Amino acid sequence: MKLARIGAPGAERPALVDNQGKLRDLSGEIPDLTGALLSDAAIARLAALDLSALPEIAEGQRYGAPVADTGKIICIGLNYTDHAAEVGLPLPTEPTIFMKGCRTTGANDVVHLPRGAEKGDWEVELGIVIGTGGLYITEDAALNHVAGYCVVNDLSERSYQMERGGQWTKGKSFPGFAPVGPWLVTRDEIGEAEELGIWLEVNGIRRQDGNTRNLVFGVRRIVSYVSQFYALEAGDIIATGTPAGVGLGFDPPVFLKQGDELRLGIDGLGEQRQRIHAWHG
């Protein structure tokens, strides 16, 4: 099942995509798509609805972030074998964790670079959406805590991340640096996301072209590992790392600029499109 939120920022309504690819309005069934409504039982209730009886939503409207109240965006760094190689770093022996300190935005919303940005970069990632929270989750039980998956663009300003001291978070957290969606695709459709094509284009040029089979740490390991340090909560998103092809990895590097267009996606999880704007605030 593909779950979404449709409408202008702050006025989104919950929706799902039916088997014919039509958007159906869920606002008569639930007030919004929140973490509290991502448990297995809540998703099963939505799956049992007569979709043909739900009002149809016209195409062409904005997709908001598919979860209304994401609390934490937890990121895993250097989690693809090819990406670690391109940036010249050894494979981690444990998952590398950092945070994004911004809110999620819609899949196709405009992205603004920070004032004076020099090294804006892209990272297409598989997002794990937590449906049932927990602490000290075992790997055997990990999938029971996953509501589903989504596309995440872990945008960065590399000069903040690499050259301004401290940890990576400051380069990852500018407003708008976490486009998510267009949908949350439930776990029953994707399983453990073990072999999904994952790609990104900049101005029509394919820059990233990977597969989740190259993850260093898979979904079960990531969920279990992160829960040793954080109390995971329903609605949290774990971004699982990016394959080779980030701008920083080219020689010379290729960074984002005003007017660039990004297109990115993951098999079965949909596509995003973003236009890059300079900051004028």
Three-state DSSP state, 130:
strand
Spatial strand order in the sheet of 261-266 = 111-112, 270-277, 261-266, 197-202, 205-211
First to last CA, the chain: 39
Helices (H), the chain: 40-47, 81-86, 158-163, 187-190, 219-226
What is residue 85's predicted lDDT score, i.e. its pLDDT?
77
What is residue 279's predicted lDDT score, i.e. its pLDDT?
84
164 residue type, one letter = R
- Structure tokens of 280? 């004028």
Whole-number Å distance between alpha carbons of 258 and 249: 20
pTM for the complete prediction?
Answer: 0.96
Whole-number Å distance between alpha carbons of 50 and 179: 31
Domain boundary assignment for the chain: 2-57, 73-277
- DSSP H/E element including 275: strand 270-277
In the DSSP assignment, the letter for residue 212 is G
What is residue 281's predicted lDDT score, i.e. its pLDDT?
63
What is residue 108's predicted lDDT score, i.e. its pLDDT?
98
Residue matched to tokens 């895993």: 76
- Structure tokens of 62? 């904005």
Q: How far is CA 223 from CA 76, 85, 173, in A?
A: 11, 24, 22
281 residues of the chain, pLDDT tens digit each: 999 999 999 999 999 999 899 999 999 999 999 999 999 999 999 999 999 999 999 989 999 999 999 999 999 998 998 877 777 778 889 999 999 999 999 999 999 999 988 899 999 999 999 999 999 999 999 999 999 999 999 999 998 887 787 778 899 999 999 999 999 999 999 999 999 999 999 999 999 999 999 999 999 999 999 999 999 999 999 999 999 999 999 999 999 999 999 999 999 999 999 999 988 76
Total length of the chain: 281
Residue matched to tokens 């449906």: 131
What is residue 160's predicted lDDT score, i.e. its pLDDT?
87
Residue matched to tokens 């639930």: 30
CA angle 213, 187, 196 (to 5 degrees): 25
Give the architecture-level CATH label for domain 73-277.
Alpha-Beta Complex (3.90)
- Structure tokens of 127? 């997002």
